Amino acid sequence: MVPVIGQYDISEFAKVTKLFLEKYGRIVRLGGLIGRPDLLFVYDADEIERMYRREGPTPFRPAMPCLVKYKSEVRKDFFGELPGVVGVHGEQWRRFRSKVQRPILQPQTVKKYVTPIEMVTEDFIKYMEKARDDNKDLPHEFDNDIHRWSLECIGRVALDVRLGCLSPDASSEEPQRIIDAAKFALRNVAVLELKAPYWRYIPTPLWTKYVNNMNFFVELCSKYINEALERLKSKQVTSENDLSLLERVLQSEGDPKIATIMALDLILVGIDTISMAVCSILYQAATRLKQQEKMAEEIRRVLPDPDKPLTYSDLDKLHYTKAFVREVFRMYSTVIGNGRTLQEDDVICGYHIPKGVQVVFPTIVTGNMEQFVSNPQEFRPERWLEADGRLHSFASLPYGFGARICLGRRFADLEIQVLLAKLLRRYRLEYHHEPLEYAVTFMYAPDGPLRLRMIER
């Protein structure tokens, strides 16, 4: 039994998980958390693989009890029996996911969004150009600008609309309110989960604000879904290929609430997750100029004409650029871990573990262990393109694995690849300020102003 660690802040959670491995070994039990089961940290990629591969069709992923309460109690009137895929488990989760999985994961659906995401990204780069100071440094609040780009991309995918996040003369405060609400909802999950859960019994100020944020999301998504329904009524459709993601779900299910809840989940989880991943990727590119130049050379080779529109085939050829992203995720995993609640007793690392224990797979640690990765402290994207060397496929899983693998992963990859292709084709990124430490909000990302220097090539 490991005592509760009271001397650490939640932002240091990644540091704590590393300390557990160093002090206690490859399996660590953390007990004494008020109002929740024990946590079992497993630092063994072989065991993680075994557990993933043997799970059934409805694995239970312990996450966001605050969102579970909101969906199942506070707004049961809205969510009903199909509350989505985030913070939902069991048969309810399986039924909802089966309704939206096919349109979201079909490659043809993702390919349809290359041009729309490229258009959003071109607007973002113009936005960045104007935001630079005399030294060509981007502003202190550049991470918020990345959130605006991310929201504009997600809005185009999940809501079928341009929200105007990147418009220089935008008068509406709605986009920033969405970003602030998403940040608040996700970044307070750890506070609500790991500290004394008084909110489960009385409406604490933090819980009240969380509920108000979620109500805002529901109201906003419903408005845009209703607008999409009206457009669909008058749209002449000759084949399924003419339909957007939103329209595919609306047409196949006929229930606008399914599409509304799908959009809600994509926006809620997607904005901060993708934004923090991009902050980390751009920071690493700006501080690793040799690897950045390799990406730029590859992009120029694939895209000799910078004005030619991108295609899915072009992006598919950016092998080194994709490897760079994977290496960033390995060394600085945006998602610090994944996990499962045991549905039956199990034997893990030789110990009998009872049903109900929440098992944590700390990706931020296992991706940097010599046991599973050759020379893990060396940043080397080439490792993802080589057949030799030690690289355990379950040591670094940024999107999870199996039935509960991230539903929006293909769109996340698309947005990241389009941004790198368009940005590094024309600009070199540099960083000339104090090095940034990484910290946990909800994600693991650079902590501090991301003042990148953006210079024309």
Cα dist from 450 to 275, 291, 430, 434, whole Å = 12, 19, 11, 10
> Are residues 369 and 22 in contact, defined by beta-carbon separation less than 8 angstroms?
no
Burial 152-162 (b: 16+ CB within 10 A, else e): bbbbbbbbbee
Rounded to whole angstroms, the Cα distance separating 293 from 286 reads: 10
DSSP string, 26-78: SEEEE---TTS--EEEE--HHHHHHHHHH--SS------HHHHHIIIIITHHH
* Contact in structure between 442 and 272 (CB atoms under 8 Å): yes
Contact, 335 vs 444, CB < 8 A? yes
Please check whether residue 420 is in contact with residue 357, taking contact to mean a CB–CB distance below 8 angstroms: no
Query: What is the H or E stretch that residue 446 is in?
Result: strand 444-447
Q: State how far the Cα of 59 lies from the Cα of 402, in Å rounded to an integer.
A: 9
Q: 406 among the known binding-site residues?
A: yes
**What CA–CA distance (Å, rounded) separates 244 from 3?**
51
**Residue positions counted in the chain:** 457
Residue 28's DSSP bridge partners are: 41
Phi, psi angles (nearest 5°) of residue 337 = 180, 170
Helices first, then strands: H and E counts in the chain: 18, 10
- Is the CB of residue 406 less than 8 Å from the CB of residue 61? no
Q: Helices marked H in 303-385 — which ranges? A: 312-316, 319-331, 363-366
Cβ 225 vs Cβ 260: under 8 Å? yes
Please enumerate, by residue number, every residue annotated as part of a binding site: 406
Please enumerate, by residue number, every residue annotated as part of a binding site for heme: 406
